[in-house]
Amino acid sequence: MSDNNIELTSTISEDNKLELALREIEIPQPGENQVVIRVEAAPINPSDLGVMFSAADMTTASQSGSADRPVISADVPAKFMGAVKKRVGKPIPVGNEGAGTVVAAGSSAAAQSLMGKTVAFIGGGSYRKYLCANVQSCLELEPGTTAAEGASSFVNPLTALAMVETMRAEGHKAIVHAAAASNLGQMLNRICLADGIDLVNIVRKPEQEALLRDMGAKYVVNSSSDSFMADLTQALIDTGATIAFDPIGGGRLASDILTCMEAAVSRDMTEYSVYGSDIYKQVYIYGGLDRGPITLNRNFGFAWGVNGFLLFNALGKLGTETYAAMRKRVAAEIKTTFASHYTHDVSLAGALQLDAISAYGKMATGEKFLIKPQS
């Protein structure tokens, strides 16, 4: 085992500054039900950027420090300091998930069984060289699975599966998904194809539409098309989808989806009702690609809801048996259904370069970074 450990942290100071830096920390010792993982791969997900950048204005970012210890600084607008006051002065470790090799294990049988194995894990601070995790936070990867292949075993796969299970639990029969050409969107498409679930994919570029159709997607609509509302309504008529998952958040997309759902479900109504149809329509917001306000144009009746969707809350509602089955499926299908594609590999220091931050900070579909802490 190496004699040093490094982690990437995000700190906001009292003088309205964000600082991203690498710091040396102790190599942890495992407790009874813990393992120490040599982290070999960790993805940069949109949810990680919320911790990393917080409320900072990254257009003001500057780089200092050395080649192997870069430091990124950026201004935090004064109007946002109140919202982040609980983290002021505290170095926050960044990274929600990753994968690597277990190099030390606690005394419990569960911990010992993972010794030397390649595991995926979820928990704070994955952007580091060595991490201590509870065995319950680990997923043993099947033999022949690399850390890079298993690095995204939790956030995207479990979110996609949780969407399907939420659909079932709430009595819907088909799903609408926005920003559908993302890694998560491609996973959801593969799940729905395998499970015989109709999925309406919303994209915004012709090449994204072509990508999904090449993957077998039947219903793909382009939100930048002049015929978007008509196309979406027809797809909803064809599928009967009354639940949607939207990572964009801001703007009027949630409203447009509800409007088209109402048009689809009320087309056969024989009598007018000022309250609209009585079929419930649900949009879940699970991201913030658009940080602006959500605009709802109220022309979709009264049987509707717009709620936040957070993976851990959703898993809590689904129960332990469902969660266990989801984890087992992810491990078995990590190279197929739940495969992730990365366009860039970077070291910990490489993640703190202005050009890299400019690229992964856009959260652009088709551009995903993987951190390799041992590089």
Complete DSSP assignment for 49-94 = HHHHHTT-EEEEEEEEE-SSSEEEEEE--GGGGGGGGGGBT--EE-
The 3-state DSSP class for residue 180 equals coil
Is there a single domain that holds both residue 88 and residue 233?
Answer: no
pTM: 0.90
pLDDT value of position 288: 87
* Number of domains composing the chain: 2
For residue 185, the one-letter residue type is G
Do 39 and 140 share a structural domain? yes
Residue 268: its pLDDT value, please? 78
332 within some domain: no
Q: Are residues 184 and 120 in the same domain?
A: no
Q: What is the CATH number of the domain that holds 301?
A: 3.40.50.720
Q: For residue 330, tell me if it sits in a domain.
A: no
Q: Across the beta sheet with 57-65, what order do the strands follow?
A: 57-65, 70-75, 17-25, 5-12, 92-93
Say yes or no: 189 and 107 in one domain: no
Query: CA 147 → CA 13, 142, 302, distances in Å?
Result: 35, 11, 48
- Give the model's pLDDT for residue 2: 54
pLDDT by residue, tens only, the chain of 375 residues: 556 999 999 999 999 999 999 999 999 999 999 999 999 999 999 889 999 999 999 999 999 999 999 999 999 999 999 999 999 999 999 999 999 999 999 999 999 999 999 999 998 899 999 999 999 999 999 999 999 999 999 999 999 999 999 999 999 999 999 999 999 999 999 999 999 999 999 999 999 999 999 999 999 999 999 999 999 999 999 999 999 999 999 999 999 999 999 999 998 777 778 788 999 999 999 998 888 999 999 999 999 999 999 999 999 999 899 999 999 999 999 999 999 999 999 999 999 999 999 999 987 777 899 999 999
Determine, yes or no, domain membership for 326. Answer: no
Q: Is residue 118 part of a domain?
A: yes
Question: Are 119 and 258 contained in the same domain?
Answer: no
Is residue 335 in a domain?
no
The structure tokens 């498409």 sit at 189
Element (H, E) at 12: strand 5-12
Domain range for residue 354? 5-152+341-371
Q: For residue 128, which of 247, 25, 275, 241 has the smallest C-alpha distance?
A: 25
Residue 260: the pLDDT is 98
Q: Which two tokens stand for residue 348?
A: 């910990």
